[in-house]
Amino acid sequence: MGIYEELGLERIINASGAVTRLGGAPMPKEVLEAFRSAAGGTVPLEALQAVASRRIANVTRTESGLVTCGCAAALTLGAAAILTRDDFGRMERLPDCDGFPNEFVIAREQRSGYDHAVRASGAQLVEVGFNERVANAGVRRSEAWEYEAAFGPSTAGVVYVFAPHAQPPLAEVVAVAHRHQLPVLVDAAGELPPRSNLWEIPATGADLVCFSGGKAIQGPQSTGILCGRRELVAAAFLQMLDMDEHFDLWSPPSEFFDKEKLIGLPRHGIGRAMKVSKEQIVALLTALERFAAGNNEEERATQRRVLETIAAELALRAVACRIIASADNERPPHLEIQLDEAELGRSAFDVCRQLRAGSPPVYVGHGQLDEGTLVVHPLCVDAEDVPLLASRLRDELT
């Protein structure tokens, strides 16, 4: 019996990819091994984060990095770092920002539920631009001058949510912000692959960039990366780590700052509620370097075979299957299952619901249900579950 069965739970087949609701991506074997061996020993977390900082900086070609507990925590910590810089008084007061600038300018069209993580620091979002294209009330996207027009004495920085077609281009926003000495915090949680985004997004000059560790990188689900300018990452480091130490005995790693320049040791900061464990840090580094090395030809071929096996099983009247591969071959391919809902007599929503309700429960990608399409992502599907997945889909679609 597996661990989940012992707990009285039925294991599901996750055909919807590395979604957080279903526990994210599986950790590859070498990542799990790193996790296990790190859990078996002890080192000071500060020293471990210093190593992580160098390794992350190396991969992302930035000055400094930090392992956080998810990209969401990286956003909270990044915003906190921009709000406080090296001011211990401010660190102590967060999320109360009375008396210092706490506005972050963001394009209205880039707002999402994830920016709660930025606001959790005490930051206030100031929206610019409109969402005219979605409203079908105009042709223009957000423009760089709109950020500039919103800057004022209460502005602390800019938040930018990176996406392949995000507008205005990040480099333009960085240029405008830097003209006013304002830092830019980038949410790039799910923008991997392509691997090159690990260094190309920071190369725009963005001051802090946040990635998820538990999505495509396939590190522990609750890890993330904050990377960028050393002084800002250091401010995040100070507000995240446990501070129960005597100043005299404390020897913070020189990667982040010179102890001589500090006025003392701050108390626990806003990030103390977002700690990461040593095994998470080590596993994330292993996963990051594995991901950055690329070379996924074999993985892609295996994933494609999985989708072909399923598609072959679904040669049915009311169903049309299409395998979509990414142009650069860095992303896993996925399978679109287009339903003829009238012919089938059921909607894609109904089928999705039934797939979850059956045994074993099957979760497919649900982003295109309103177009009558189910999506199968191979990343989190166990090889041994493929025949079962194919037959459950066939049963529901016949």
Stretch that binds ligand PLP, among 64-72, 276-284, 307-315, 327-335 (CB under 6 A): 64-72
Query: Quick one: 354 or 368, whose CB is closer to ligand PLP?
Result: 368
Contact 148, 176 (CB under 8 A): yes
> Which distant-in-sequence residues (6+ apart) come within 8 Å of 85 by Cβ?
231, 232, 235
The closest of 351, 341, 344, 331 to 393, measured between CA atoms, is 351
Determine if 338 is a binding residue for ligand PLP (CB under 6 A): no
Minimum distance between the CB of residue 45 and ligand PLP, rounded to whole angstroms? 20
C-alpha to C-alpha distance for 14 and 385, rounded to whole angstroms:
10
C-alpha to C-alpha distance for 51 and 55, rounded to whole angstroms:
6
Minimum distance between the CB of residue 71 and ligand PLP, rounded to whole angstroms? 3
Determine if 72 is a binding residue for ligand PLP (CB under 6 A): yes
Determine if 20 is a binding residue for ligand PLP (CB under 6 A): yes
Stretch that binds ligand PLP, among 67-75, 167-175, 231-239, 381-389 (CB under 6 A): 67-75
Minimum distance between the CB of residue 197 and ligand PLP, rounded to whole angstroms? 13
Minimum distance between the CB of residue 40 and ligand PLP, rounded to whole angstroms? 26
Determine if 71 is a binding residue for ligand PLP (CB under 6 A): yes
Radius of gyration for the chain, computed over Cα atoms and rounded to the nearest angstrom: 23
Query: Quick one: 189 or 235, whose CB is closer to ligand PLP?
Result: 189
| Tokens representing residue 1 in the block | 């019996």
Minimum distance between the CB of residue 177 and ligand PLP, rounded to whole angstroms? 20
Minimum distance between the CB of residue 164 and ligand PLP, rounded to whole angstroms? 13
Q: Which residue is nearest to ligand PLP (CB)?
A: 70
Minimum distance between the CB of residue 195 and ligand PLP, rounded to whole angstroms? 17
Alpha carbon of residue 368 to chain centroid: 21
Peptide bond into 183 cis (omega under 30): no
C-alpha to C-alpha distance for 105 and 67, rounded to whole angstroms:
25
Query: Quick one: 17 or 266, whose CB is closer to ligand PLP?
Result: 17
Query: Quick one: 42 or 112, whose CB is closer to ligand PLP?
Result: 112
Residues 189-248 that bind ligand PLP (CB under 6 A): 189-190, 212, 214, 224
Residue 130: Cβ-neighbour burial (10 angstroms; 0-12, 13-18, 19+): middle
Minimum distance between the CB of residue 279 and ligand PLP, rounded to whole angstroms? 17
- Which one of 66, 76, 79, 187 is in contact with ligand PLP (CB under 6 A)? 187
Contact 332, 303 (CB under 8 A): yes
Query: Quick one: 78 or 183, whose CB is closer to ligand PLP?
Result: 78
3-state DSSP assignment of residue 146 = helix
Minimum distance between the CB of residue 105 and ligand PLP, rounded to whole angstroms? 18
Query: Quick one: 224 or 253, whose CB is closer to ligand PLP?
Result: 224
Residue with tokens 């160098």: 54
Peptide bond into 193 cis (omega under 30): yes
| Tokens representing residue 385 in the block | 């579950």
Stretch that binds ligand PLP, among 58-66, 70-78, 139-147, 373-381 (CB under 6 A): 70-78
Stretch that binds ligand PLP, among 69-77, 267-275, 309-317, 375-383 (CB under 6 A): 69-77
Residues 186, 192, 193, 195, CA torsion sign: positive
Distances (CA, A) of 272 to 219, 281, 351: 21, 16, 43
Distances (CA, A) of 357 to 10, 362, 392: 11, 8, 11
Interface ranges with ligand PLP (CB under 6 A): 20, 70-72, 114, 161, 187, 189-190, 212, 214, 224
